[in-house]
Amino acid sequence: MEDILASIKKVIAEEKELRAAAPPPLAVGVDDGDDADDVLELDDPVVAAAPEKVRVPVDLGPPLTSEEAVGSSRQALAELQEVAAAAPPPPQVNAFETMVREMIRPMMKEWLDAHLSDIVDDHVRREIGRITGTPLN
C-alpha cells in the first residue's frame, strides 16, 4: 500500500516538474544529414527513431485538475498513508488451524454438494412466497 502511494506521489511530482521545466514545443524531426529521404511516400513504412536520438518536448497543455483538487487529493492520500502505516500487522498463521481447515475441507465440500442446492431452493421458494403472498410447495 505504501509503495502504491509513494508511486502516485512520484508521478504527481514528475508531472509538476515537467510542467515547470517544459520549453515551448518544437517541431518533430530527425536530422540525420541525409536530405534525399525528406519526402515521405504514402506507401513507405514509418519507422520510429530511437529515443536517444530524438528529444521532443511534450506539450502537456493546461493541467487536468485544479490546484484545489490536487491539494485535497494529496491530503487524502497522506491520510491513507498514515492509516496504512499505523495498521496492525496481519495475524500470525496458526499451524493447527491451517491443518484443521485442510482436514475439514473435503467434508465441507461433500456436505455442500449434497445439501446446498436444497437449501437455496428452499430459501428461494420462501422468498417468492413472501413476495407474492402465496406459499409455494
DSSP code for 47? -
Among the residues of 1-137, which ranges form H helices? 2-21, 67-86, 95-132
pLDDT for residue 20 is more than 60: yes
Q: Is residue 57 within 8 Å of 26, Cβ to Cβ?
A: yes
Query: What value does the mean pLDDT take over residues 105-110?
Result: 95
130 pLDDT higher than 80? yes
* Under 8 Å between Cβ of 54 and 30: yes
Nearest-10 Cα torsion for 48, 15, 7, 54? 20
What does pTM read for this prediction? Answer: 0.31
26 pLDDT more than 60: no
**Each residue's pLDDT tens digit, 35-71:** 555 665 666 555 555 555 566 677 777 877 888 888 8
The DSSP line for 45-58 is PP-PPPTTT-----
Cell numbers linked to 68: 484545489
